[in-house]
Amino acid sequence: MSDALYPGSFDPVTLGHLDLIARGAALFGRVVVAVADNPRKKAVFTAKERVAMLRRHTRRHRNVKVVSFSGLVVDYATSHGISVLLRGVRTTSDFEFEYQMALTNRSLAPGVETVFMMPSAEYAFLSSTLIKDVVGNGGDASRWVPKDVERALAKRLRR
Ligand code: ADP
């Protein structure tokens, strides 16, 4: 079974991401969750914090590893011998961007294939951005993120 690289910002991890990781872990030999450490993208949590949250919530999968990376996703994949990129598609609005990115990545690294998976329907509309809006404005996001993640977000955003 191939290994898959699941890259993203994960700022912060949501139940949608965790749903996708569980689906990937059942399908691939190993899923390497790669947290983008991109100083140009303003994040609420540092890459180190995002990695720690993901590790806490993926501990039950023996074939899931969480790392952080900077630079091109395809460079990380090829230098670690991984030939599958795993991405989630939620709604049709994701599709165009994901399609563009997959073809760009294929052009950069022809040996690397992108595989899309869909989350469970209850998470199909979920995004880290929306959750930050909800929590930042005092709303309850406990059905979309793990409890400790919600607490950490509230602490950071409601200062
Ligand atoms: P990015 O900064 O690359 O958009 P995200 O952290 O938002 O990263 O998402 C990482 C990956 O997880 C992307 O492929 C995204 O489509 C997918 N994803 C995000 N939220 C969900 C969700 N609710 N269900 C399924 N996939 C998701």
Structure confidence by residue, pLDDT tens digits, 83-95? 999 999 998 888 9
Reply yes or no on whether 9 is catalytic.
Answer: no
Is 136 a member of any domain?
A: no
Count of domains forming the chain: 1
112 in any annotated domain: yes
In a domain, 32, yes or no: yes
Return the residue whose CA atom lies nearest to atom 15 of ligand 1: 88
How many angstroms separate the alpha carbon of residue 81 from the centre of ligand 1?
23
Which residue minimizes the CA distance to atom 11 of ligand 1?
8
Residue 30: per-residue pLDDT: 98
> Is 17 a domain residue?
yes
Sign for the CA dihedral angle at 50, 52, 54, 57 comes to: negative
pLDDT of residue 100: 96
Over residues 61-73, the pLDDT tens digits come to: 999 999 999 999 9
Q: How far apart are CA 118 and CA 116, in angstroms?
A: 7
The residue whose CB lies within 8 Å of the most ligand 1 atoms, and thus the one to mutate among 17, 42, 144, is: 17
17 catalytic? Reply is: yes
Q: What is the CATH number of the domain that holds 95?
A: 3.40.50.620
Residue 149 lies in a domain: no
Domain range for 19: 3-121
97 confidence band (pLDDT: 50, 70, 90): very high
Q: Is 126 in the pocket of ligand 1 (CB under 6 A)?
A: yes
